[in-house]
Amino acid sequence: METTKLNCWNYMKCGREPGGKDSEKLGICPAAADVSFNGLNDGKNAGRLCWAVAGTFCHKEVQGTFVDKRDTCIQCDFFKLVQAEEGIANLSSNFLRFVPHDAISSLLNSMNYRHVEAGERFITQGEAGNTAYIIQRGSCLVVVEKDGELHPVNHVGQGDIVGEMAILTGEPRIAHVDAQTDMEVWELDREQFDSLAEQEPELLNFLTELVANRFDSTRPMADRGIGKYAATDIIGRGGYSIVYKGMHTTLNMPAAIKMMRHDLVMRADFLDNFRNEAKVIASLNHENIIRVYDIEERYRTVFIIMEFVGGISLKDLIRRLKTIPPPLAIDFIIQICSGLSYAHQKNIIHRDIKPANIFVLEGNHLKILDFGLACPPGTEDFESLGTLFYMAPEQIEGDPLDYRTDIYALGIMAYEMVVGKRPFPEDNLAELFKMHRTRDVPDPGEIVRDLPESLREFIIKAGRCDPEQRYKDVGEILEYFQPLAKEFGLKKHRNLLLEKRNMSTFFLVYKDEHQLEVSHLMEEFSTRLEKMGIIMKGADFQDIHF
């Protein structure tokens, strides 16, 4: 039976927790009100980290800042109780849980030992460093100095690692670290970590969790920046990435920031291919494709900065409605095909089409997400990147991919929309792999009796094992569905085989004596643009005064 962990007000019996006997008269204790520490050490708010919050009410006295009361807190019976209960910390930053048990001793033997005195600041914010510290005994406080004030942001103990961002970047430290008690630590530099990660690849998951933990917090941080954007809360996790909500720091514009997991990005073959496709992915501009603003490489991984949209994933919509009505399913298929047609013209295969990567906005407008695994035609997918439930046979086999790979996934997804579940049993993954390789998608009409014949035929043809028996491209699907869209009175979708274009306007303000030089420059500029397929138009405005 699991024992409930006490909060400070339960132990101290001060009566100043919300609803406590003295909370109305004396006010709620700041530790009970500070939600920035909520959940840490399985406590409520800062109920088990009260020493990190200023103005708490302990021993019938209002305490000062954490700096003022720190020495007293270390001697407090409740503080000692928390230390004893936590033992090897279970926070996401815990390092040793990523190291195989039989490798821990050899790891520690390869590092330098250091003793740290209680009260000693052994990491200073702003200083450069390439060393992290694994804590064998004792505990310390991580403190961010911001706008002249000190903010406690974390408490780490036995089994944890501190100063860990040095392993990733070698950039200046983002926080101070002060020893609360005498400590025994082991120094780990970046070169040692890289060597260890080669032997134990699962340590790359540790890097992902380090960065995720850095950005997913409501507490003060010295730096959450990724290029021009600042990351905040985690809004999604997947097998290949973690997605944050973010904000452009100067334009105050919301964004979604997807961080690729380190075990993927730190494979040289993947990163090289991704860099080659990154510029193309960022250039996609279509009403049914999520807009990518930028791609940044930091913290030894890749961040994809995308537009942030409200709405619901198609996965959640299917879960909510059970099935999607056929007219709406056809509308969704047409919109997805419009976006895929545009991407395919750019020689991009999405490679991970599934309901979780389709977002439904207001008015049932769709956006295709997650081009992070996109690849050009002819890619041999030996890594089987994608999502098993929607993977085409050629994707599973590692055969060269083409646009029909996306069409197969769309067929599986269409089946799921109208039937309410995926087509093959999923209790045995090995058997599921075999079914995808050897069986066509079953006839959905056997389950949904009133399914429109055209929709039924689409699902059957799109879900063929043999790519040669599928639609040759999504343009063919768009043509196929146009009569059915008219029959159901759906909004007419543009066949975006016609390429969408952007237009920019700018003005040159110059004096008469510069007229000839400007003309020559514009002729040269126009010639270079024409080679890129860009049209430039000009107009003269006379007698402009500045």
In this structure, are residues 201 and 207 in contact, taking their beta carbons and an 8 Å threshold? Answer: no
Tell me the residue ranges of DSSP E strands in 317-460. 358-360, 366-368
Shortest CA distance to 291 belongs to which of 273, 277, 309?
A: 309
Give me the CATH topology for the region 312-487. Transferase(Phosphotransferase); domain 1 (1.10.510)
131-137 and 161-162 as β-strands: parallel, antiparallel, unpaired? antiparallel
pLDDT at position 252, please?
82
Q: Which CATH number fits domain 96-215: 3.20.20.140, 2.60.120.10, 1.10.510.10, 3.30.300.30?
A: 2.60.120.10
Parts of the chain belonging to CATH 3.30.200.20: 225-307
Q: What whole-number distance in Å separates Cα of residue 288 and Cα of residue 338?
A: 7
Q: What whole-number distance in Å separates Cα of residue 380 and Cα of residue 384?
A: 9
Q: What whole-number distance in Å separates Cα of residue 416 and Cα of residue 462?
A: 13
In this structure, are residues 223 and 174 in contact, taking their beta carbons and an 8 Å threshold? Answer: yes
pLDDT at position 88, please?
38
Low-confidence ranges of the chain (pLDDT < 50): 1-2, 88-93, 492-500
Q: Is 352 known to be catalytic?
A: yes
pLDDT at position 499, please?
41
What's the whole-model pTM score? 0.60
Helices (H), 184-325: 190-199, 203-215, 262-265, 268-283, 314-321
Second CATH level (architecture) for the domain 225-307: 2-Layer Sandwich (3.30)
pLDDT at position 500, please?
47
Parts of the chain belonging to CATH 2.60.120.10: 96-215
Per annotation, catalytic residue among 160, 178, 331, 352: 352
The number of helices, as runs of H, and strands, as runs of E, in the chain is 19, 19
pLDDT at position 224, please?
65
Write out the two tokens for 284. Answer: 């996609």
Q: What whole-number distance in Å separates Cα of residue 152 and Cα of residue 443?
A: 60
